[in-house]
């Protein structure tokens, strides 16, 4: 069995507004099944005052030599509650035995900072 790493994922909205619905997933290159981190099911994304996005799940396991793939699907919500401007993006991060990885998703005027803290599972 290959050594595994724990990836703790946090997402913070740095610019834009939270008036969007989203589905955020994580998977590894070797295992295609997606773990759902957030699925608002057409409702507005919950964002704290400091910009932190409230994820339903934030920890996934990745093989030591693997890659973490974070998927982001979003749609802006109009004033009538209907969604528009749908976008989908993926971010691939190589596993690390320690430290952190980071990247950004930009959808329209909204920018999300993705931070992954890595730790070795004994």
The structural domains of the chain, ordered by start, are: 4-120 (2.60.40)
Q: What is the pTM of this model?
A: 0.88
With CA atoms as reference, report the closest residue to 15 among 115, 120, 107: 107
Write down the pLDDT at residue 113: 97
Q: What is the pLDDT of residues 10-36, one digit of tens each?
A: 999 999 876 788 999 999 988 879 999
- The set of residues, in sequence order, having a beta carbon less than 8 Å from that of 99 and lying 6+ positions away, is 118
Band of residue 101 on the pLDDT scale cut at 50, 70, 90? very high
pLDDT of residue 51: 93
Rounded Cα distance between 65 and 97, Å, is 9
Question: Tens digits of per-residue pLDDT, 47-64?
Answer: 999 999 999 999 999 999
- Listed in sequence order, the residues at least 6 apart from 16 whose beta carbon sits closer than 8 Å to its beta carbon are 108, 109, 110, 111
């Amino acid at each position: 069995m290959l050594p595994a790493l724990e990836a703790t994922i946090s997402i913070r909205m740095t610019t834009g507004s939270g008036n969007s619905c989203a589905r955020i997933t994580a998977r590894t290159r070797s295992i295609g099944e997606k773990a759902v981190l957030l699925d608002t099911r057409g409702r507005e994304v919950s964002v704290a005052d400091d910009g932190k996005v409230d994820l339903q799940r934030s920890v996934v396991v990745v093989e030591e030599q693997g890659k973490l793939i974070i998927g982001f699907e979003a749609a802006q919500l109009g004033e009538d509650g209907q969604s528009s401007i749908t976008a989908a993006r993926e971010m691939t991060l190589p596993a690390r035995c320690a430290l952190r990885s980071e990247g950004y998703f930009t959808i329209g005027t909204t920018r999300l900072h993705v931070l992954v803290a890595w730790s070795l599972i004994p």
